Amino acid sequence: MSDTLVQEVAGKLFADLVPPKLVNEAEAGKFPDSLWKAVNDAGFPDALAAGAESPGELAGMADAAAILREAGRHAAPLPLAETMIARWLLAGAGLKAPEAPLTIAPAERESALELKRAGKGWRLAGRAAGVPWARHSAGIVVVGQGQVALVAPESADIRSGKNLAGEPRDDLSFDAAVETGPAAPGVDAALVYRLGALSRSVMMAGALDEVLKLTVQYANDRVQFGRPIGKFQAIQQQLSVLAENVAASGVVASAAVEVAAQKGDFPFAVAVAKARVGEAAGKVAEIAHQVHGAIGFTHEHRLHHLTRRLWSWRDEFGVESEWQQELGRVVAARGGDGLWTLLSAW
């Protein structure tokens, strides 16, 4: 399927199956089993793994991103990105993936999680904070020491937590023997972290599209002083800034996906995307709420399903400043003369 067709199919599925009520229930702790089943039957969690012709390839990135953008647009409360990445890792290592939600750990750049040799096998020890959806997953995938490990959640000590959007983000500690396979060439913990950051960038791009749509709609519908508030220049100018940031986010997220799929400078692309989209997320959410006024601050209105996700996702897998610093160091190492070479090559 072409990316646009994949996006269309995914968009329709989420539009049909993710009403605000389901998002609220998920945030209250109820895992949406029937949604998961529909998504799994549609093959979405395999999109990244399915595209790879040889282990470790990211050729499935375009399809995976098209699906994740729709998932973000509809605030679909599932570990979809995590399962996609986990299945891709497991396939690359020749391990069989359970047909159930999976997750990846750690979700931090520096973690206290370690894979160690133990006799003929491997043990996983240490802690990982804020692991997405761990309590609902059938397996946690960890990469290190050239190995991809699949850990059963039962062997972890799980302390439940959640992000600002009520999505499960659990603290885990491990000390257990694990099943492993050799990581595909180029696959390491840093790459997994980048994939996490890219997935959040793409999901934010989708959520941002929807925030723009809701906010323009509201500005056209809401009448004050005898006309829709969208007729006031003060509102128009703010909505333009909002829209421009949404446009920039869509472009940069797609560009990073394209670089990933074509084996370009992936570290640069991810850093650029996560830093830029994360910055847009805050700006856009701020304006959207200002335009929506009090109604947007209520739990009843669905704007917060998107804005609370934006506020969460911009922090996950590296807050903007973290990626900006990484980017700044890469640039500085090349010097003032190398700056343009870098910019013009991506």
Partner 1 sequence: MTDVFRFDPLTLPAECETLRGEVRRFIAEEKAAGRWRAESDFASSHSPEFSKRLGARGWIGMTWPKTYGGQEKSFLERYVVTEELLAAGAPVGAHWVADRQSGPLILRFGNAAQREQILPRITKGECFFCIGMSEPDSGSDLASIRTKAVPVEGGWELNGRKIWTSNAHKAHFMICLCRTSPPDPNDRHKGLSQLIVDLKSPGISIRPIKNLAGAEHFNEVLFENVFVPADRMIGQPGDGWKQVTSELGYERSGPERFLSTFRLVAEFVRRAGTTPDAREAEAIGRIVAHLATLRRMSLSVAGMLQKGEMVNLEAAVVKDLGTNLEKEIPEIVRLVAKRGRSPNKADLMEEALSYGVLNAPSFTIRGGTREILRGIVARGLGLR
Element (H, E) at 179: strand 169-182
Q: Beta-carbon neighbour count of residue 72 at 10 Å?
A: 29
Quote the least distance from Cβ 41 to partner 1, whole Å: 28
Q: Beta-carbon neighbour count of residue 96 at 10 Å?
A: 10
Q: How far is CA 223 from CA 226, 236, 300, in A?
A: 6, 14, 20
Task: Find out whether 66 and 119 touch, Cβ atoms under 8 Å.
Answer: no
Amino acid identity, position 228: P
Joined together, the tokens standing for residue 51 give 């595209």
The DSSP 8-state label assigned to residue 203 in this structure reads: H
Tell me whether residue 155 is exposed, middle or buried, using C-beta atoms within 10 angstroms of its C-beta: 0 to 12, 13 to 18, 19 or more: middle
Please report whether residue 325 would count as binding partner 1 according to CB under 8 A: yes
Among 271, 285, 287, 303, interactor with partner 1 by CB under 8 A: 271
| Count, residues near partner 1 per rule CB under 8 A | 54
Residues in the chain: 346
Please report whether residue 260 would count as binding partner 1 according to CB under 8 A: no
Element (H, E) at 180: strand 169-182
The values of phi and psi at residue 121, to 5°, are: -110, -155
Among 275, 281, 288, 310, interactor with partner 1 by CB under 8 A: 275
Quote the least distance from Cβ 213 to partner 1, whole Å: 5
Q: How far is CA 146 from CA 111, 117, 142, 189, in A?
A: 16, 11, 11, 9
Joined together, the tokens standing for residue 164 give 């600002």
Please report whether residue 205 would count as binding partner 1 according to CB under 8 A: no
Stretch in the footprint of partner 1 (CB under 8 A) among 82-90, 99-107, 177-185, 253-261: 253-261
Long-range pairs for 220-229: beta carbons < 8 A, 24 or more residues apart: 222/293, 229/291
Contact letters for partner 1, residues 208-227 (x by CB under 8 A): -x--xx--xx-xx-------
Close Cβ partners of 71 (under 8 Å, ≥ 6 residues apart): 10, 14, 78, 80, 81, 203, 206
Please report whether residue 125 would count as binding partner 1 according to CB under 8 A: no
Quote the least distance from Cβ 212 to partner 1, whole Å: 7
CA torsion through residues 97, 152, 72, 128, sign = negative
Please report whether residue 175 would count as binding partner 1 according to CB under 8 A: no
Quote the least distance from Cβ 64 to partner 1, whole Å: 16
Quote the least distance from Cβ 116 to partner 1, whole Å: 32
3-state helix, strand, coil in the chain (%, to 5): 60, 15, 25
Quote the least distance from Cβ 327 to partner 1, whole Å: 3
Quote the least distance from Cβ 112 to partner 1, whole Å: 22
Nearer to partner 1, 266 or 323 (CB): 323
Among 51, 162, 243, 286, interactor with partner 1 by CB under 8 A: 243
Please report whether residue 198 would count as binding partner 1 according to CB under 8 A: no
Please report whether residue 344 would count as binding partner 1 according to CB under 8 A: yes
Nearer to partner 1, 27 or 320 (CB): 320
Quote the least distance from Cβ 324 to partner 1, whole Å: 3
Among 2, 240, 290, 298, interactor with partner 1 by CB under 8 A: 240
Among 1, 112, 190, 241, interactor with partner 1 by CB under 8 A: 241
Binding site residues, partner 1, CB under 8 A: 209, 212-213, 216-217, 219-220, 230-231, 233, 235-237, 239-241, 243-245, 247-248, 250-252, 254-255, 258, 268, 271-272, 275-276, 279, 320-321, 323-329, 331-333, 335-337, 339-340, 342-344, 346
